Structure 1
């Protein structure tokens, strides 16, 4: 032993003991921190999840819609033919030498894209969005929704931030590819959120929480449209729009990482009172369900699922018309200047946000008081959300150049569309709380076809952006909204489906398509049930 040092084996033991002691101290410090957070956080964690989820949906929609307004300042002309003259054109806000003109000076407009090209670029997002829906839902169910959703939105934020650089290098082609990648990042958002809500929210609270979380879509549309209008006003560079909203997405990801967790049981500082409450009230199957394959065989044969598909297609068709094309309609047809367009296109989403909360409260109260069943509630609010906007959109098109009347109809249509949150939007949680992520991803994959179709179809139907051309597009929207709502009302259901938990419900007597989970696992589960009963 040199210099009074202990022998090597003793020194090694001392180092190991020091490491163990250090780990215990760190764990105790962590436990102390969590206890402090637990005592300080008087807001239930399920409400924090809903609030941060609201901001996440808001973030997703700002990044989705910011191009819709920016593209009006990226292109030199909004008409397919420069020489086309529309006799019924509305007067413009821009007056030069006492002569009304439909062409506004755009100092940063560097692209010559016709209406079809613009429609294809705007639809690019939904190609990617559709591709990652089902994989996103599957991964969320396997590994939890927190990181699948969070990393997806972070990637979209980074792509948004890079948009000005990419489009200036590669033009329309590279912008289309980038929009596809942005859509792929956002694909897991809705399946991941629905799965987390199914794990966190009791059935009698779902309408209001879903209305709160998905009200973030309206806040995103309001914030995105309003801020885009301000950032683009006075001839400013459209690149600022993408830098601003990309940065907003990165900040949200930091909040999400520290405040939200996939399930109540994995949350480090949830109160014991809330944890016990959620474990008692939230309907989920045994943990071994995660090992089971998704019951596609039963899902694809389920009439209530196809009812939801119909309603989802109708909702997305009407919603994407407003989100994607209302800025173009306001700028090209009603001839608002860009700052006014940003403000006015935000108003319908303000109305939708405000009305979503009363709809959610009324639906939950009606179910709790026994005034109507869950199924009847879903039918009532889905019908309000489909037929009301269908009528208002048509009335707006026949308002002609009466800007006030047209915008009032658009605002009213979105206010009524908020009924979807208490109707078909929450219905996936009713049918399949254990496979909410997969079911939502399946619905979104099909309904996103509307998002792919609409911008391109609108571009084809409105080559010169005239009022008459847009009226035809709105009539197509009317037919889709009303038709899909009728099919939803015929097949809808409000109860948990047998295939969502075969261990509990078993197979129906008329099921002739083989097992949907491994037979020996089902038999073991039944034996365990019998033992528990004894």
Structure 2
């Protein structure tokens, strides 16, 4: 019998029964839970936990740091005529009560340095993480990385008491752990995601970023408002969630279908017959074709698009809570919920776009055209929303609506920008994702510190300049991608064919003992797509 922990359908062994069962789409066989969907769900939770731990400080720091009191400036006639007023006394009293837990007198520049530190480490481990995942498998590389991130999160409250530069060091270590996250998951998706499901599975996994931001902001705000420990509890609760995920990850997920003890034979054969498109790892993987990779125009177009996307995204994720508090004067609970709304909208739109992308591809529309369409939506939508919000003045409703709509449209990047590395080279997806993500994450180093420099007094006019810079970067990098981007498999994806002068192709797996079953399935055309 072939019974699994997550699959209740059991059947007798035998070639004829295996062939008959494999002809039924694995995703619709009784009460079975296909393991590629389990992996997608756990990958979703991995990214959600990563983003929660990375950005929970963005909201918490508004309550950790003593408020910037501009009353003395006002007395010196340096009054900001565009400053938004507090709308009622009760909210000011509530904020004052919450601020009793604030104990750090850090300047805006110091806060920017702390918030950017995570990206210093994040950039450094992208490429090593991708290379390790391609050769060792993504499961343990990702697990170790998020273990480091989780421990750093749990230590944050104690380390912050030692001084800002100790906190910078811990945030740097959190970034080192999280740098392997996307490369590892891309390597695993190359093993587990059939081409016709790549848009949906990719959207499901990478949408964890948006849910992570929602939880980080909404739950973090409520924890700080309604629990006795205040901001300290944010790091303890989210650190504990990371430990729970690690335990499930080690039990349920494996780097490739061949090594998974719980997968059904039918699903394993389904994935093999769909030719997911990657080489077996370790000894079968040819040396990385660095020269061809670094001279690839489509890859550089993707990298530039990622830089623009990350600039807009990290500007909002890292600093929107500060804008909502210091400029719009929302209370901490309101700040958390309203800062979460754009990412909830982004997640909903990302899932919607994933289905649309798969539909368009199934209709034989050019994959390159589809990718460019959705990446353009993901760049122009936020540009409009950010700019409109910055010119909405002190209208809290309009500001919240425009930020939510604009950042919601950014969700189109998940089934386009985030899976484009898989299009270009399934065999070296981890390496490409490391390069793309690593260079793109440099935006995360620059933007928080730049915001700190440009907004020393946190005035509306200072923030408007920040938003204009984000708009220009988003639009200009998107234009570059439209001119240079592609979704075609690149010749260097198959180094052996490149050397022999053959037409580039996806390098196949070694033949297995189940080839007769696979051949029968292909001849019958019974495997659902």
TM-score by length of 1: 0.85
1:225 and 2:217 correspond: yes
1:70 aligned residue = 60
Instruction: Say which is worse superposed, 225-234 or 178-187, in terms of deviation.
Output: 225-234
Distance 1:434 1:442, change over 3 A: same
Distance 1:33 1:422, change over 3 A: closer
1:500 aligned residue = 493
1:88 and 2:82 correspond: yes
2:303 aligned residue = 309
2:126 aligned residue = 133
Instruction: Say which is worse superposed, 282-291 or 48-57, in terms of deviation.
Output: 282-291
Tell me if structure 1 keeps the 8 A contact 2:48–2:208: yes
Gapped regions of structure 1 (runs ≥ 5): 1-30, 510-534
Distance 1:36 1:374, change over 3 A: closer
Structure with larger Rg: 1
2:181 aligned residue = 189
Tell me if structure 1 keeps the 8 A contact 2:381–2:409: yes
Tell me if structure 2 keeps the 8 A contact 1:81–1:464: no
SS of 1:129 mapped into structure 2 = helix
2:273 aligned residue = 280
Superposition deviation, residue 92 in structure 1:
2.0
Superposition deviation, residue 148 in structure 1:
0.4
Distance 1:500 1:82, change over 3 A: farther
CA distance in 2, matches of 1:34, 1:102: 53
CA distance in 1, matches of 2:92, 2:299: 56
2:444 aligned residue = 451
Superposition deviation, residue 501 in structure 1:
1.1
1:330 aligned residue = 324
Gapped regions of structure 2 (runs ≥ 5): 11-30, 503-529
Superposition deviation, residue 504 in structure 1:
3.8
CA distance in 1, matches of 2:85, 2:95: 8
1:198 aligned residue = 190
CA distance in 1, matches of 2:107, 2:373: 42
Tell me if structure 2 keeps the 8 A contact 1:137–1:188: yes
Alignment of 1:510-529 (within 5 A): none
1:517 aligned residue = none
Cα deviation, 1:423-448, whole Å, max 9, x if unaligned, reads 22111000011111110011111111
SS of 1:261 mapped into structure 2 = coil
SS of 1:231 mapped into structure 2 = helix
2:233 aligned residue = 240
2:345 aligned residue = 351
SS of 1:107 mapped into structure 2 = helix
Alignment of 1:82-161 (within 5 A): 83-84=73-74, 85-92=79-86, 95=89, 106-161=99-154
Alignment of 1:204-215 (within 5 A): 204-215=196-207
Tell me if structure 1 keeps the 8 A contact 2:95–2:331: no
Distance 1:484 1:306, change over 3 A: same
Distance 1:68 1:289, change over 3 A: same
CA distance in 2, matches of 1:451, 1:80: 28
Cα deviation, 1:505-532, whole Å, max 9, x if unaligned, reads 54669xxxxxxxxxxxxxxxxxxxxxxx
Cα deviation, 1:402-422, whole Å, max 9, x if unaligned, reads 111111111111111011112
1:45 aligned residue = 35
Distance 1:82 1:304, change over 3 A: farther
Superposition deviation, residue 201 in structure 1:
0.4
TM-score by length of 2: 0.86
Tell me if structure 1 keeps the 8 A contact 2:286–2:495: no
1:474 aligned residue = 467
Distance 1:182 1:100, change over 3 A: closer
1:363 and 2:363 correspond: no
CA distance in 2, matches of 1:244, 1:309: 35
Superposition deviation, residue 291 in structure 1:
4.2
Tell me if structure 2 keeps the 8 A contact 1:79–1:463: no
SS of 1:450 mapped into structure 2 = helix
Distance 1:508 1:486, change over 3 A: farther
2:413 aligned residue = 420
1:398 and 2:377 correspond: no
Cα deviation, 1:37-90, whole Å, max 9, x if unaligned, reads 574771111011000110111100110111111101111123689535422211
Instruction: Say which is worse superposed, 72-81 or 252-261, in terms of deviation.
Output: 72-81
CA distance in 2, matches of 1:335, 1:508: 64
CA distance in 1, matches of 2:295, 2:392: 44
CA distance in 2, matches of 1:122, 1:246: 18
CA distance in 2, matches of 1:345, 1:280: 45
SS of 2:271 mapped into structure 1 = helix
Could you say what the CA RMSD is over the residues aligned between the two structures, in angstroms?
2.4
CA distance in 2, matches of 1:408, 1:217: 21
Tell me if structure 2 keeps the 8 A contact 1:152–1:185: yes
